[in-house]
């Protein structure tokens, strides 16, 4: 199974000047756990629900803190043709729960741990016992 089979193509794109509150409201409204941050100075990054939670947990004001100050720019990108095993391994190595999926230089999706588990669980349910042992 490939990343393109699991990824969400509903991408929230925000800028570094958005506040954490604005980002959290948009993520909550769309029921997603991360946003792609397009920063003309630093390039492509990602803001996750964990980034927002960490800032609030440190007592920072989400209405004043900008996304740019909390964006992860050391991002590991996935390609649509990666296997889910490749994506899961990259997540484990980097300690990430989300990967931005690029087709060339263009973000085309996001894949999360939840997306991978959903696909693997579905595949195990429909597989024969021998195939399920391999998933």
| Averaged pLDDT score across all residues of the chain | 92
Q: What is the mean pLDDT of residues 111-134?
A: 81
Q: Express each pLDDT in 59-80 by its tens digit.
A: 999 999 999 999 998 888 999 9
Across the chain, how many H-helices and E-strands are there? 6, 6
pTM here is 0.83
Domains of the chain, first to last: 3-134 (3.10.580.10)
CB 23 within 8 A of CB 14: yes
7 within 8 A of 109, measured Cβ to Cβ: yes
Contact predicate 75/47, CB 8 Å: no
């Amino acid at each position: 199974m490939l990343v393109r089979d699991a990824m969400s193509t509903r991408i929230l794109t925000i800028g570094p000047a958005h506040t954490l509150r604005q980002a959290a409201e948009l993520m909550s409204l769309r029921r997603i756990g991360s946003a792609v941050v397009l920063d003309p100075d630093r390039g492509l990054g990602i803001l996750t629900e964990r980034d927002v939670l960490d800032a609030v947990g440190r007592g920072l004001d989400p209405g004043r803190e900008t996304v740019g100050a909390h964006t992860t720019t050391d991002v590991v990108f996935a390609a649509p043709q990666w296997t889910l095993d490749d994506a899961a391994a990259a997540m484990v190595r980097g300690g990430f729960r989300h990967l931005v999926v690029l087709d060339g230089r263009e973000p085309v999706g996001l894949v999360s741990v939840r997306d991978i588990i959903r696909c693997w669980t579905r595949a195990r349910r429909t597989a024969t016992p021998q195939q399920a042992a391999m998933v």
